[in-house]
Amino acid sequence: MSAALKSSSGSGGGTRHFLELMDLDPASLRHMLELGKRAKRGEISGKPLDGKTVAMIFELPSTRTRVSFEVGIRQMGGESLVLTAKEIQLNRGESVKDTARVLSRYVDAIMLRTADVTNIREMAQYATVPVINGLTNISHPCQLMADVMTFEEHRGPIAGQVVAWTGDGNNVAQSFIQAAARFGFTLRMATPDLLKPPAELVAWARREGARIELTDDPVAAVAGARAVVTDCWISMSDEKTAATQNRHNMLLPYQVNGALMRHAAPDAIVMHCLPAHRGEEITDEVMDGAASAVLDQAENRLHAQKALLTWLLGRGGDAE
């Protein structure tokens, strides 16, 4: 089994983790999503994280993930510690295993953003508290919870709807594939041949019953779609290796602009996890246009993660 599909133990060893959408069953994810909607309506009462501390380790930069987790934890009565990889001993070669075991003695949950998915798997293997994936080189499940929530707020139930992705088959794209399997939407993904998502992930999603359509033609992907989604052309974990000029040339035809949007459904929304590179993967016209849901996505990170933390740590977070 390839690295991309190696089991990442959603709740192995009795501790509940949030590592990949594929680890969790549709009912638990749906329950969490509905909790997120309730959090947004102000219906998560009391301080479910009272007395709890969450450590957040960032090996890579972040605006939304960091701030939405910190604010959400505070709103729920908990405390957070932000640790950049540079300032902890991980940076001097202390193992992930030892870091996981030590932090588990101090805190109630660990969130990790890492350029190497094996780090988060190792963290979850050795931590005795829940571990949350705050983005890896191959996934960004917290983003997808907010994105599905955003779609449903704007356009109703996502099951059976057509969502189009255009651009790089990157970490967010790969979480979209997992989300299509878990939430039952059709995903049409247009990428250059060289930047396709991993074949084994697509095969897994199809085995799970997902409709995943791959193409290299962005117009074919967005035709009639209810949502058009894109992301940056060079992800943080690719910065050292991607040949920038080649990437840009390869991806320019996949830009989300006014001309491409004319092929989507008339009421299609546009989604981007942010940060955006305006003028590259998305134009100002689309980013700031009436169809843009990007700020709702950013806001919904807060509500979806409050739901996630309630599910992992709080009282009353269990699926019925």
In the complex, which residues of this chain contact ligand NVA (CB under 6 A)? 135, 170-172, 231-232, 235-237, 273
Residue number, 33 or 135, with CB nearest to ligand CP: 135
85 lines the binding site for ligand CP (CB under 6 A) = no
Residues 10-49 within binding reach of ligand CP (CB under 6 A): none
Strand 162-166 versus strand 186-190 pairing type: parallel
> What does DSSP assign to residue 224?
T
232 binds, among ligand NVA, ligand CP, none (CB under 5 to 8 A by kind): ligand NVA
Residues 127-166 within binding reach of ligand CP (CB under 6 A): 135, 143
Q: Which residues pair with 131 in a beta bridge?
A: 110
d(CA 207, CA 145): 22
Instruction: With both helix axes pointing from N to C terminus, report the angle between 26-40 and 171-183 in degrees, rounded to the nearest 10.
Output: 100
170 binds, among ligand CP, ligand NVA, none (CB under 5 to 8 A by kind): ligand NVA
235 binds, among ligand NVA, ligand CP, none (CB under 5 to 8 A by kind): ligand NVA
Task: Give the shortest CB-167-to-ligand NVA separation in angstroms.
Answer: 9
Q: Which residues contact 280 (CB under 8 A, 6 or more apart)?
A: 232, 233, 248, 251, 255
Q: Which residues contact 288 (CB under 8 A, 6 or more apart)?
A: none
The pair of structure tokens assigned to 191 is: 């990428």
Active-site residues, by number, are 113, 140, 143, 231, 273, 301
Query: Which residue type sits at 283?
Result: T
Residue number, 33 or 142, with CB nearest to ligand CP: 142
Strand 162-166 versus strand 109-113 pairing type: unpaired
Dihedrals φ, ψ of 230, to 5°? -145, 180
65 lines the binding site for ligand CP (CB under 6 A) = yes
80 lines the binding site for ligand CP (CB under 6 A) = no
What is the widest separation between alpha-carbon atoms in the chain?
Answer: 55
Residue number, 221 or 273, with CB nearest to ligand CP: 273
Stretch that binds ligand CP, among 34-42, 44-52, 59-67, 156-164 (CB under 6 A): 59-67
Task: Give the shortest CB-176-to-ligand NVA separation in angstroms.
Answer: 11
Of 24, 158, 273, 286, the one binding ligand CP (CB under 6 A) is: 273
Task: Give the shortest CB-298-to-ligand NVA separation in angstroms.
Answer: 10
63 binds, among ligand CP, ligand NVA, none (CB under 5 to 8 A by kind): ligand CP
Of 31, 40, 64, 182, the one binding ligand CP (CB under 6 A) is: 64
Give me the DSSP letters along 146-175: HHHHHHHHHHS--TT-EEEEES---HHHHH
274 lines the binding site for ligand CP (CB under 6 A) = yes
d(CA 269, CA 289): 10
Give me the DSSP letters along 179-221: HHHHH--EEEEE--GGGPPPHHHHHHHHHTT-EEEEES-HHHH
Of 6, 50, 63, 259, the one binding ligand CP (CB under 6 A) is: 63
Dihedrals φ, ψ of 119, to 5°? -65, -40
Binding site for ligand CP (CB under 6 A): 62-65, 135, 143, 273-275
